[in-house]
Amino acid sequence: MQLRFDKKVSPVGSMLLVTDDLDVLYSLDFEDFEPRMHKLLKRYYGDVQLRYGTIAPRIRESLDNYFDGDFTALDRLAVATGGTEFQSKVWSQLRSIPPGETLSYGRLADRVGRPTASRAVGLANGANPVAIVVPCHRVIGASGALTGYGGGLARKRWLLNHEQAIDQQHPSQLELFSETAN
């Protein structure tokens, strides 16, 4: 399989984007996690050959719009995620969590019909190949604490702050999402 590869600078660091010739997004990861991106592409699609090629303006514009505050801009992007049936269910549910909202791993497990599988949900989140667009950053611990994010907790915190997912009326949320927390 041959796919296009490009980089894009963002407020959360340099991002790596992988698409096919139809502009379906196969991977969005952070440059400092490039080995993981290659590992996930190989896991889901086998022998993938990446060639440098400019990513479609539509994808770049959607990302720019998201970072400029249009939180629904990424909803229009087509993604290919690979993965198991369970992972696909989790990732589909992730895309249904509105910007500005969060969901616990347990609640997400309920939504996919596996109420005792919160750890498996966490593992599926960690194997998500299309960060931000498939918004695993919107999943938090049952206590409201930030837990696990493949791009690092600082990025998760930034993304949630950007989406205004923090309830300004509840000091405990402000404390959990502060720069010094976690």
Which residues are identified as catalytic?
136
Cβ pair 44, 51 in contact under 8 A: no
What is the pairing mode between strands 49-52 and 139-140?
Answer: unpaired
The C-alpha atoms of residue 9 and residue 13 are separated, in whole angstroms, by: 6
